[in-house]
Structure 1
């Protein structure tokens, strides 16, 4: 890649990555977002920064060091202005600005192919992190801006001071990175000034580098902020992203369907960084500040896996200053074809990676998958207020839905707010009889919410007649206290449950799912759908019940809801196809089954192929029907039903596969296969 093409490629790739982020919904891959939104709501309502666990009924309230209050307010206002679309636009705009700053630091128009490769790999590592909205999205931007001011615009280095103030209030716990940047360039200036020599002109003045770290104290926490990054890791050691980086993962580089995984993207960047560092050391070149930043970034990896992003950004100045692989080469250079192939392969892999990471898109602009959306809707509907004993892992979203009308037990996404003892007790509530009993006696909650699995808590609550099961959604089951909420418990008591060990009650043939005379659905199901019309479990059951009772038109309503709410899952498309087939709209049914097939894991496709085979058979397309039935079962299996074997033989004959047809008919006469004979 020539220097003339390097910059256009980088701009094209930045635009592609930004469009991917703009088209990607807010997903529950990281529940931190909702605790930040809840805190932002508190700040907007109370005109104050929270100082305790305002959303929890734990007593005494836990002390809260809110070092992200500015991000929380900005995120809340973006959501208030444009809903989840506002958060998507905010995330994408920050990423695009970050990409532009990286482009200004790397300068691919000067470094050619090597600079373009560095830019591409860096953006691949970072775009994965930008799928979720957290304070880190601003931290990465601030790191790049600090590097740009100190490296490329030293005359504007005074802007580091207001940047430090904004940084400290947006994601203050990450302030050591700004300290590292300032220290690196200050140390370089001192080193270059030794012996009374004047440093090069393209260096930032010392006073902004000295004042910027002091400006970090301009936050409601003041000097208390200084100790937070170095506090005990005991509270957060259970978080996967806090685990130390395992350098052996760099050896697990793999390409699947032409696409990299996140570790693969970082491994490519690490290879380029190692080449640049080796070249710099061999030639004894490279600025002192660049080496300090590079080594500091490596050191951050020992603080956790998520520090890969900081490591990438801090390594950019060193990589931007070198071109160890020699980007420019003569036309008769024998290595020219190999270089061109490597560059084309990297560009293709980068684009394929974006397609792979962002192709299977959940519902836009927000996916409720794995969130207690229905529980929140129910609590809003009954509007009783009170205390909700909740499962801590999804507490952030539940608090966002119901605070300030309700207060919850705990949100595990606030690991620095709750103590290790709190987290231990939260686990005990859902796993031991004693833990549940102690929590109920101490806090006397109006409601208890528990995930479908494991079934231990549900069995324990079943032995307590003072709590009635009143609602469930795709993740949790809600119980109401008969003593504190008698009307709710009496009106909404449920005869079924998706909890582990009770899921058979959601079978259409279960007695609890018999509808009253003149009704298509049981009363409890109609009631739940009125409160949460997009629930997966309830719409699935409703669609199955209507199909079983000969009402495919009614089933279409519920399967359409499943398709709309969970477009990345096959279940809605399968049920929609079943309903269309029941209406005789077979071509449309085939299209739905094909969509379901594309969303189904290869090991679970047999039922989909069976439906496709049946539809094509009804359409009198024996070749297609035969092909799908072959994929839906094993014709060599001794346990294959005689009816299926006969259908295979008949379809094979109609498809012109007479040899196969004779084989199946011969097996049908004995119903034995070669593998069942002891030769």
Structure 2
């Protein structure tokens, strides 16, 4: 039994109704919309492990590092991604995400119930955790680290650790995601004999921790794996730290969590209240919880990607205090109404969203921003070559071309590419002086770029040199070929699809042909009435034709499929 909690009894403390309410709430926070640029190369990497027959991968996707060792420390997660996709399809990955989120936080809720002594306190604390973490709950292997942390805490927090359970956990975790390093840090905290410090207890803790650390050496990169996950957090000079997701939450740009700053203040206040004797009589002081909170808060202040770890640490701090309050006799009659209210609230939060995997995947990964039409054109003409492509498109091109289009750089970042390569890419991205020379000196034969992100300026600049020609353009971007690049005698257009119809609408709008634009947009919308691009193009086309009421009706119907904040 936890040193923090009394015996749980009574029908209102039974777990399944609270877990049901929790599952609905956690699912409702699983609709974070984020451009899943890394997801595509994770799926492709699973395929690559099978093709190369080994987790020791050699790069075959870029022309800057072709043949180099690729330190993919998430190889097992990628293999699971690819296996899932082969069995259930790409869009079904939303089911994987929702299942993992629900499993993680329901397990965590059970832990919080144990340490708080109150089911309502556990549910509220766990809800706070998922609310803080929600902006970062995208479809990536990091979700395995959240599950791993929940399992680790359940096995060790206020319990005698069992090595036979911890060793398999870390053996799997180290090959799923780099978050195992944080797991080892937390393990050191919970193993430390805070209450009965003796030489024998320290030896037992050191033995258990060392065994778990040693088992983590069973991975394709050996000892190197311990350094890779910390590079972003500790190397302030790395240019990759300029990526928004890895910046400090106190810097502008990147993903933000609305509740993060408030939780830091509340967490600090809760920790300080343990200095008061009256508080310690009701809520026993737990140095483990404070230490985990300090560690995760410090990491989250360094990089916003670690906010998900702080979210769980904050819940650990909050639960005992909430439990002490909610165990009061005056509060007990409110337990059932609170359970019903939270269940209804969770259901209401889920209700507006579509649970159809195709629709949800489209929005949750921002599938609509990737170059489907350009990739279709490449496949139709069997094009292969060195491609200077938009960074966030690299993973998608790997999935679609399987190495036929070898990119300059992609989202694998410093697990493969050096700082100089990334800085050269940034030069082109910003259209800085010398960017044309950077593209051409790289040896690129093809150039693929979206219309945004300086796309118009970059395209115009390359075409004006006379050394590049436009091969294909669609609604999302352009594909250019360098002078001398071997092409088929006759270029084929992609088969009819939503993207070809959207492209027809785009080209007609450039000519000012509102009738043709509306016709093409209508055909695209008929094929995908819930798509972001089809909805926005049809609305825009109707407005251009003066059909304002119809335009708003289209958008209302689209939002009924999925209430995305990006449907405007």
TM-score (norm 2): 0.79
| 1:221 aligned partner | 221
CA contact (8 A) 2:28 2:350 kept: yes
1:465 aligns with 2:466: yes
| 1:87 aligned partner | 93
Q: Distance in 2 between matches of 1:11 and 1:164?
A: 26
| 1:149 aligned partner | 155
Where 2:481 maps in the other structure, the secondary structure is strand
| 1:390 aligned partner | 389
1:592 aligns with 2:560: no
What do the CA deviations read for 1:269-289 (whole angstroms, capped 9, x no partner)? 546534542343323532332
Q: Distance in 2 between matches of 1:323 and 1:106?
A: 10
Query: Counterparts in 2 of 1:44-443, with a 5 A limit?
Result: 44-58=50-64, 61-107=67-113, 110-130=117-137, 132-151=138-157, 154=160, 156-171=162-177, 173-188=178-193, 192-194=196-198, 207-231=207-231, 232-233=235-236, 234-246=238-250, 263-267=257-261, 269-270=263-264, 273-274=267-268, 276-283=270-277, 284=280, 285-323=284-322, 326-331=325-330, 363-366=359-362, 367-429=366-428, 431-432=431-432, 434-443=434-443
CA contact (8 A) 1:298 1:311 kept: yes
Instruction: Report deviation, 1:164.
Output: 0.9
Which ranges of structure 2 fall in alignment gaps of 5 or more residues? 1-8
Bigger mean CA offset, 532-541 vs 49-58? 532-541
CA contact (8 A) 1:329 1:336 kept: no
TM-score (norm 1): 0.68
Q: Alignment length, in residue pairs?
A: 539
CA contact (8 A) 1:390 1:409 kept: yes
Instruction: Report deviation, 1:457.
Output: 1.7
Instruction: Report deviation, 1:433.
Output: 6.7
CA contact (8 A) 1:58 1:409 kept: yes
Q: Distance in 1 between matches of 2:337 and 2:371?
A: 49
The structure with higher relative contact order (CA 8 Å, sep 6+) is 2
Instruction: Report deviation, 1:596.
Output: 6.8
| 2:526 aligned partner | 560
Instruction: Report deviation, 1:425.
Output: 1.4
Instruction: Report deviation, 1:579.
Output: 9.7
Instruction: Report deviation, 1:69.
Output: 0.8
| 1:478 aligned partner | 479
CA contact (8 A) 2:29 2:130 kept: no
Q: Structure 1 residues 363, 537: closer, same or farther in 2, change over 3 A?
A: farther
What do the CA deviations read for 1:88-138 (whole angstroms, capped 9, x no partner)? 2222222122122112211178325433321211122334432x2111100
Instruction: Report deviation, 1:219.
Output: 0.8
| 1:11 aligned partner | 19
Q: Structure 1 residues 432, 89: closer, same or farther in 2, change over 3 A?
A: same
Q: Distance in 2 between matches of 1:229 and 1:403?
A: 26
Where 1:487 maps in the other structure, the secondary structure is coil
Please identify the structure whose Cα radius of gyration is greater: 1
Where 1:479 maps in the other structure, the secondary structure is strand
| 2:488 aligned partner | 487
What do the CA deviations read for 1:514-539 (whole angstroms, capped 9, x no partner)? xxxxxxxxxxxxx4663764563434
CA contact (8 A) 1:389 1:449 kept: yes
CA contact (8 A) 1:65 1:221 kept: yes
| 1:620 aligned partner | none
